[in-house]
Chain A
Amino acid sequence: MTSVTMTVNGKAVTKDIEPRMLLSTFLREELGLTGTHVGCDTSQCGCCVVHADGDSVKACTALAVQFDGASVTTIEGLAQNGTLHPMQEAFRDNHGLQCGFCTTGMIMSSVDLVKKAKEQGITIDEHYVREGLEGNICRCTGYHNIVKAVLAGAQSM
């Protein structure tokens, strides 16, 4: 067992865990934050994306101990003071989700994608969004409305 301390959604947590524990397991099983979903074992599908120290991370193939001391935000921490994040609103407004399983990772990736584009002065268009979401698989929507949602979310972010 090893001790790991991190800030998750603004709250400090310390747990004794097996060193092999994945970050996704840590969030889901140790902290009960089940909004981080696990859809594959290979970092391919993106259902498990969270933010760690400002970058998006695929939690299903990262070890929790790698994030000792880090600040992690999960989908549960995205809404602030009871107000949804503009990207969450955009997904709802544009029917950018169906079964909801990929949605949490998709939103977390989209927020980071738009934030990075804005920081780097990149024009956010359909091409940019489609390329940027290559690491997130959705089986329901055909991406059409996800792309619409991300473009709309980018406007209001």
Chain B
Amino acid sequence: MATNGIGTPVKRKEDLRFITGSGRYTDDIHVPNQAYACFVRSPHAHATIGAIDTSAAAAMPGVLGIFTGEDVAADGLGGLICGWMVKSKDGSPMKAGPHPILAHGKARYVGDHVAVVVAETFEQARDAAEAITVDYGVLPAAVDVAKAHDSGVDIHADIPNNLVYDWEIGDKAATDAAFAQAAHVTRVDLVNNRLVPNPMEPRAAIGHYEFGTDSFTLYTTSQNPHVARLVISAFVGIAPEHKLTVVAPDVGGGFGSKIFIYAEECVALWASRKLRRPVKWTSDRTEAFLSDAHGRDHVSVAEMAMDQNGNFLALRVNTKANMGAYLSTFASCIPTYLYATLLAGQYKTPAIYCDVQAYYTNTAPVDAYRGAGRPEATYLIETLVEECGKEMGLDPAEIRRRNFIPKDAFPYQTPVALQYDTGDYEPCLDKALELADYAGFPARRSQSEAKGKLRGIGFSAYIEACGIAPSAVIGSLGAGVGLWESAKVRFSHTGKVQVLTGTHSHGQGHETTFAQVVAEKLGVAYEDVDVIHGDTSKTTVGMGTYGSRSLAVGGEALVKACDKIVAKGKKIAAHLLEAAEQDIVFQDGNFSVAGTDKSKSIGEIVFAALVPHNYPAGLEPGMEETAYYDPANFTYPSGVYICEVEVDPDSGVTEIQSFTAVDDFGNVVNPMIVEGQVHGGLAQGIGQALFENAVYDESGQLLSASYMDYTMPRADDLPSFVVHTTAGTACTHNSLGVKGCGEAGAIGSPPAVMNAIADAIGTRVSMPATPEKVWRALQKTNLAKAAE
């Protein structure tokens, strides 16, 4: 086994550049002669765009060009697309309004970009942008998704009631029948609060058109540069795909928000062609709040039908999903295929029915954010299950245990499309109960009470679907792309290895993990493997990183490329060792003739392939193999989280006393990195539960558009976590047996926190559980008690 191979907590290769300030993020890149762009953004949520007076701005120092939606239209450019076509219950396709790269005719949310100024310096561009006047005709706005249907506001022409689609999944008749016979029905009404992803690096782009070669390079903060290349070439039409290189260098966090193709990066590229100057745009934080795709924003009603023993009979859910003003790249599949298909959770509920109405509103586009659909599903189920337990008089662990899919039932076909390949849920629950010292909770509660504090404990048993797949299935469900991944393993003369992957690392440590996989599979030194990603001119195709797909899909492609290297190596070894190919055994970096001491190292084989003086006749020289992998199924990580809180009844402040996370991620390549991923996810989930909220007022102004107003979790808001990865159940359909860990924390933690608060204060509040909300809820309870 390789020293730094699979299963070892290897320190990260990428860290040296990050701890010394020599990382290279998009804004750090300077292309000679670059100019700077600044966007004019609508201050109104909904307004017609009349005359745009650019005359004063055009005369200002350094201004090179000013462009509007009229110019985009005149150049015949297409708009941004939504890559997933969802059909309504009645079979009609979803209704997608146009999404121009500069607003044309109408602005549809605060921050919608109406014009762009390009100047010699950023300061000059900004000064000039402020001198542009736009004749807006302010229109009434639709903001709240619960009211979007009847708002009387038409955001896009020919889309009545702002309804994008009315979609359903599951067996309605069987579900209704089960409800009719239920001994008890539990119902919850839930709002899944709207979030702003907030990667620490704001988005940025440099468009660079080179006249001499008629070629284009886009540097951008992207999680999937190849998909950006595809959309910008095939749909927006700025550059042909073979003449366009997209580079996503070091990217300072994405969490989903950098999967999507944004207007600003298209505009930078297009403006570069028009001006024959490289054009750079860097978002400031307020622009990021206004224009990065937001996450969540569901309003739901969920009901569980049970028999007299608390066994689940049927689940019925209705959800209204806010899509914002335009359909972002993957927006349509989040509240459908990535949400409703996860509503079975870890439970053997026989019948499930869910319908989802997606609406346009005059808000920023909403799309995938860490977990994408699964956090929404988990919050709904795990809130409902907790209430089921309470209403049935069952302990929160017991109501879950009673309804878990038993370990001998896998593969398990849920009533909502997915087939879980493997899982074993009770050991996670047992381990979590042990690590959280559930048995000791009553004593801790008494201690808190003695101090005048309210203590509560909350559970969450999540499941998620990672590594979205397979291509044929998602294609039949409306996806516009395949979701395979590519990998290339390339040896040089000296036995050093370059790995080219179509995934993109923006904090997940692929340069380390992927090198560990190659070290293990090929028996080469970990230090001799370099992982290259994020540049379409190097890796020719790829699908990027999101949905915890990188190792489960991209890593498996890499294994297949390694397998091809070994297969070719065996042919060369057979020739050199004068043996039959089928007698060659490859192990720990050596090709040996079975049953003999005759052996060649992989370095010798590679050298022979590149210096083929003594070489099998007819075999191509070189040692470079490419593989693609299209997974047979999603992977299904799961886990049990337990949160313990203490609430100060005088202030309403909630303090997390402990947080225990037990996860089954299947096999683990680098336990240190996996733990780090869980920590980060937990912070984001706890952030959603306690602090974070994107708040629009009724007119569509974003009230939380800076770190002064949007509560990001800080170091002293969070505890140290207790994180445990169980031995787990290996994924059955990739050879690594890996599942994916990037989103688990954000998926599993919100309901655990909210259930703990409900347990502490005896009533439910909505997320985020701010001190004011908790305090008001307690006052209400106290008043009700006093009235009794």
Contact = CB atoms under 8 A, between A and B. Distances in A.
Contacts of A102: 200, 252
B7 interface: no
B14 A100 contact: yes
A18 B121 CA distance: 12
Interface stretch (A64-72, A114-122, A141-149): A141-149
Interface stretch (B308-316, B325-333, B380-388, B671-679): B671-679
Interface in B245-299: 250-253, 255, 284-286
Given A126-B720, A141-B676, A37 B201 contact: yes
A108 to B, nearest CB: 9
A101 B253 contact: yes
Residue of A126, A136, A137, A147 ringed by the most chain B CB atoms within 10 A: A137
B671 to A, nearest CB: 10
Q: Give the size category of A's interface with B.
A: 35 or more
Q: Give the size category of B's interface with A.
A: 35 or more
A41 B252 contact: no
Interface in B190-244: 198-202
B451 interface: no
B111 to A, nearest CB: 15
Interface stretch (B633-641, B644-652, B680-688): B680-688
A107 interface: yes
Nearest to B508: A98
Interface stretch (B158-166, B529-537, B563-571, B710-718): B710-718
Contacts of A36: 21
Interface of A: 18, 20, 28, 33-42, 44-45, 47, 74-76, 78-79, 84, 88, 91-93, 95, 97-104, 107, 126, 129-131, 133-134, 136-147
Contacts of A137: 200, 707, 712, 714
B67 interface: no
B20 A98 contact: no
Interface stretch (B23-31, B42-50, B101-109): B23-31
11 contacts: A39-B202, A44-B708, A45-B712, A92-B15, A93-B11, A99-B201, A101-B200, A101-B201, A134-B715, A142-B681, A144-B718
B716 A139 contact: no
Contacts of B712: 44-45, 137, 139
A92 B12 contact: yes
Nearest to B15: A92
A143 B15 CA distance: 17
Main secondary structure of the interface of A (DSSP, over half): loop
A39 B282 CA distance: 11
B15 A75 contact: no
B706 interface: yes
Given A41-B706, A139-B680, A145-B679, A99 B745 contact: no
A145 B22 CA distance: 21
A4 to B, nearest CB: 16
A144 B714 contact: no
B715 A129 contact: yes
B70 interface: no
Nearest to A89: B19
A36 B706 CA distance: 20
Given A39-B201, A101-B253, A142 B680 contact: yes
Given A95-B673, A144-B679, A134 B716 contact: yes
Q: Nearest 9 CB-CB pairs, A to B?
A: A35-B21, A101-B252, A100-B18, A99-B507, A142-B683, A44-B707, A98-B507, A75-B21, A142-B679
B12 A95 contact: yes
Contacts of A92: 11-12, 15-16, 19
B632 to A, nearest CB: 30
Contact of B198 (A84, A95, A139): A139
A18 B200 contact: no
Interface in B652-686: 672-673, 675-677, 679-684
